Structure 1
């Protein structure tokens, strides 16, 4: 039996629908973007030398100005080459237009026949580090806080 290099189980919207309705200019454009991210991720995994079987999340944020950022949150530590390829290829996809703040979602995926993660939502290590000792943040604010891989101080409320 041939194992699929990349399986997308579903898309997890990480913000309330009212926020998404305000920030997503075109649902069709967002859907096309998600399909393009999935294709880029499949290509990254299929062309990698590593054949690591695991499940987890590909977390994506899009902010105004057609900027995107990708974080990975898998059940096991991913091979460095796969990590680099996944992030590079997914971030190379031209994002849809976001308005009034970031749009954050995740693809619940498996690589090389891995099992679907049981976790209901992602928490990438960069996000976890940014939240330590602080108040829980709305996911858009959290994504903005760690956007440049340099955790920004979280403003007190």
Structure 2
């Protein structure tokens, strides 16, 4: 999880629905890896944000550049999974994944390029929910 437990408890009214969503995302990611045709062995993160109103977004942060087909398949299939209900703000989490027998990423947390590129005011650190809200493209 990329947010404190207190934030998740406030924003996720049904933890079982969230768990079901995570399982569905994992299945969609597996299907994407197989259907992409790219047999690239790489580890990294699938970062997911779910907003109130049933909207989700995804960012990929892998340890090596992903094959374009694999990247497109992963993003589109994960976005296609119907998200769980959230209230009072976004819920952001990441799955540490690997493809074709690669080892999982040893990094502690993801840092997608889109997140790094976001202009900041000085050294101000953003809460991850606020960060994804600034980056969100509908």
The TM-score normalised by the length of structure 1 is 0.84
Q: Name the structure where helix makes up a greater proportion of residues.
A: 2
Deviation at 1:132, TM superposition (A): 4.9
Q: Once the two structures are superposed, what CA deviation does each residue of 1:99-134 show, in whole Å capped at 9, x if it has no partner?
A: 000000000000111111111000100001115564
Runs of at least 5 residues in structure 2 that lack an aligned partner in the other structure: none
Corresponding residue number in structure 2 for 1:114: 102
Match of 2:131 in 1: 142
1:1-150 residue pairs with structure 2 within 5 A?
13-132=1-120, 134=122, 135-148=124-137
| Larger proportion of strand | 1
CA distance in 2, matches of 1:110, 1:131: 30
Structure 1: 5+ residue stretches without partners: 1-12, 150-157
Scaled by the length of structure 2, the TM-score of the pair is 0.96
Distance across 1 between alignment mates of 2:13 and 2:73: 29
- The separation in 1 between residues aligned to 2:111 and 2:121, in whole angstroms, is 15
* CA offsets 1:8-65 (integer angstroms, 9 cap, x no match): xxxxx00000000000010000000000000000000011111000000000000000
**Equivalent residue number for residue 8 of structure 1:** none
Q: Which stretches of structure 1, 4 residues or more, deviate above 6 A after TM superposition? A: none
How far apart are the structure 1 equivalents of 2:71 and 2:129?
A: 23
